[in-house]
Amino acid sequence: MKAAGVGIGTLYRHYPSREALLEAAYRSEIEKLCNAASELLEKHPPDVALARFLDRFIDDMLTKPGMIQAIRAVIAAGGTTFNQSFAMIAAAVAPLIAAGKAEGLLRDDVTVDDFISVKGAVATAHPENARRLAVLLLDGLRYRSPTPKPRKVTKQKKAKGAARRSG
């Protein structure tokens, strides 16, 4: 605070608690991330844009481990002061999800809340597992044809079927 020329009184006038200060700092980082969402959608298919958005979140998480640990501690203690940041993320990814569903790249039942849950799971993962978990979870949001693949019929099965029909 000394380096910034801000006294403790000024700090607490603007931020009533440490959690509020942490949320404001986090929100600033999230704002930068969210501003990139539309650019990602212009450059990539919607499912890839969503994956890149999550990659950027992971990059931020890995470069600011102290902030992420503090946020985890606040959330674990029951502090939910991050509603504004979550709302910003939801607003940023909503167009990506809508475009992904419209193009048939994401499942029809995918919601913004699903992505927020994916982001939360990734945020609580060990850093070395975050990207792998992100890929697994995003794959679950992607559209997959419900039509089962045709079964391969072996010569033995053909012979059994022919024997039943003739018998």
Question: Distance of CA 28 to CAs 56, 88, 89, 123, 154, Å?
Answer: 14, 11, 12, 17, 61
Give the predicted TM-score (pTM) of the model: 0.71
pLDDT tens digits, one per residue of 11-68: 556 666 667 777 777 788 889 999 999 999 999 999 999 999 999 999 988 887 777 7
pLDDT tens digits, one per residue of 75-106: 666 655 667 788 899 999 999 999 999 999 99
Place of tokens 């559209």: 143
Q: Map out the domains of the chain with their CATH numbers.
A: 8-145 (1.10.357.10)
Place of tokens 């992100």: 134
Residue at 7: amino acid letter: G
Residue 65 tokens, joined: 């481990």
Residues 114 and 141 sit within 8 Å (Cβ to Cβ): yes
